């Protein structure tokens, strides 16, 4: 079976390619490298010892997509490609709407044209907005997104639902990720954001490596056990395995299926700092700052549906996540 992975050079896409190749799927990647490097392809090959077919190009490029679908017998598409920086999306809404919506629309129309009707889409817990009840179930209301990035995820979910109504032959799995952290145990692939990171774990790693002096903790007055924000952190390898489970679903059943991918456990910012310090034997300096605009106090998943319908259950714990995040930095520091 051949899987087209859009955005396969990125953080989650690269880990998913590894899991797919390991299980014997053929993988074709398209990525325009706007937020990743070509070298990731060589690293995936190094981990698995198998070749991977790579096209450097934009998913908005209809001609290129048609040529890929004509050349390879694609069975399923996993659509990771997209821009994902929340703050940047507020400053560059048009670029975000254009990239994330246009690429999806072009992809879906080429899929329809080429009669490939199985797709897994990367959505986000951000579609729940400020959820009133935790753990968050897939049936919780969506909407109230606080930035253009989140709104693109919501719009694509609507587009996919409408497509399924119009063409019931489509099989669509929408995965709402919670907070992916960690890296492959080889240290060859991981989260490598350009510039100053927005997200907690890459920021902590930069403090640990002394590239940044201290972590800014955005608020210690939330109604949580220690006042800091609580999130559902999931190891990226678990997340990748979740895609393999979703693949098994999408080849079997028609319609739209939505799943949370998380662990079901909420950790505070202090929990993460303490785990990181303990596991890696490094002190993380921090300062308490104002709350960050758009942040919610507590966000963690009800993971029952993914377990019952996909047989998916995250197996890595917080120790693995903080260890592997730092290991990725250490391995790459040695190679540079």
Interface residue list for ligand NAD (CB under 6 A): 6-7, 9-13, 30-36, 58-60, 80-84, 99, 103, 122, 124, 177, 180
Helices (H), the chain: 11-22, 39-48, 62-71, 86-91, 93-97, 103-113, 148-166, 200-208, 236-250, 269-280, 304-305, 318-335
**Per-residue interface string for the shown chain with ligand UFG, residues 1-40, x marking contact by CB under 6 A:** ----------------------------------------
Q: Are the C-beta atoms of residues 72 and 79 closer than 8 Å to each other?
A: no
Structure tokens at 67: 């040529």
- Residue 118: CB atoms within 10 Å: 23
Binding test (CB under 6 A) with ligand UFG, winner from 9, 40, 86, 306: 86
Of ligand UFG, ligand NAD, none, which one sits near residue 12, judging by CB under 5 to 8 A according to partner kind?
Answer: ligand NAD
Of ligand UFG, ligand NAD, none, which one sits near residue 198, judging by CB under 5 to 8 A according to partner kind?
Answer: ligand UFG
Three-class SS state of 133: coil
Indicate which residue of 149, 177, 203, 259 is catalytic: 149
- Beta bridge partners, 258, equal 174
Residue 291: C-alpha distances to residues 171, 227, 296 (Å): 40, 11, 9
- Beta bridge partners, 121, equal 79, 174
d(CA 122, CA 13): 10
Cβ-based burial of 73 (10 A; exposed 0-12, middle 13-18, buried ≥19)? exposed
Q: Does 186 bind ligand UFG (CB under 6 A)?
A: no
Of ligand NAD, ligand UFG, none, which one sits near residue 58, judging by CB under 5 to 8 A according to partner kind?
Answer: ligand NAD
**Per-residue interface string for the shown chain with ligand UFG, residues 246-285, x marking contact by CB under 6 A:** -----------------------x----------------
Nearer to ligand UFG, 43 or 153 (CB): 153
Positions in 91-150 near ligand UFG (CB under 6 A): 124-126
Nearer to ligand NAD, 7 or 129 (CB): 7
Q: Does the annotation mark 97 as catalytic?
A: no
Residues near 250 by beta carbon (within 8 Å), at least 6 away in sequence: 76, 118, 119, 120, 171, 172, 173, 257
Q: Does 292 bind ligand UFG (CB under 6 A)?
A: yes
| Site residues (vs ligand UFG, CB under 6 A) | 84, 86, 124-126, 177-179, 198-200, 203, 215-218, 229, 231, 269, 292, 295
């Amino acid at each position: 079976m051949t899987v087209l992975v859009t955005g396969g050079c990125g953080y989650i896409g690269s880990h998913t390619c590894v899991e797919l190749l390991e299980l014997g799927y053929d993988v074709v990647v398209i990525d325009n490298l706007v937020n990743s490097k070509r070298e990731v392809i060589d690293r995936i090959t190094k981990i698995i010892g198998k070749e991977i077919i790579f096209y450097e190009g934009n998913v908005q490029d209809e001609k290129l997509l048609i040529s890929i679908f004509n050349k390879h017998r694609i069975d399923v598409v996993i659509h990771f490609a997209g821009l994902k920086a929340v703050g940047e999306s507020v400053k560059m809404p048009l670029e975000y709407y254009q990239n994330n919506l246009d690429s999806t629309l072009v992809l879906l129309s080429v899929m329809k044209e080429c009669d490939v009707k199985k797709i897994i889409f990367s959505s986000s817990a951000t579609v729940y907005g400020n959820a009133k009840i935790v753990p968050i179930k897939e049936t919780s209301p969506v909407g109230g997104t606080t930035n253009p990035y989140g709104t693109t995820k919501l719009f694509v979910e609507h587009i996919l639902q409408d497509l399924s109504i119009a063409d019931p032959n489509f099989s669509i799995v929408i995965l709402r990720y919670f907070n992916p952290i960690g890296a492959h145990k080889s240290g060859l692939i991981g989260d490598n954001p350009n510039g100053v990171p927005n997200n907690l774990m890459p920021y902590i790693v930069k403090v640990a490596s002394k590239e940044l002096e201290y972590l800014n903790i955005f608020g210690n007055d939330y109604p949580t056990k220690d006042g800091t924000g609580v999130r559902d952190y999931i190891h990226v390898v678990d997340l990748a395995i979740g895609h393999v489970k979703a693949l098994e679903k999408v080849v079997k059943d028609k319609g739209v299926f939505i799943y949370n991918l998380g662990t079901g456990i909420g950790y505070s910012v202090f929990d993460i700092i303490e785990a990181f310090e303990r596991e890696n034997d490094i002190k993380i300096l921090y300062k308490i700052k104002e709350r960050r605009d758009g942040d919610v106090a507590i966000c963690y998943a009800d993971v029952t549906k993914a377990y019952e319908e996909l047989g998916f259950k995250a197996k890595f714990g917080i120790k693995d996540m903080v260890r592997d995040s730092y290991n990725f930095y250490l391995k790459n520091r040695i190679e540079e």
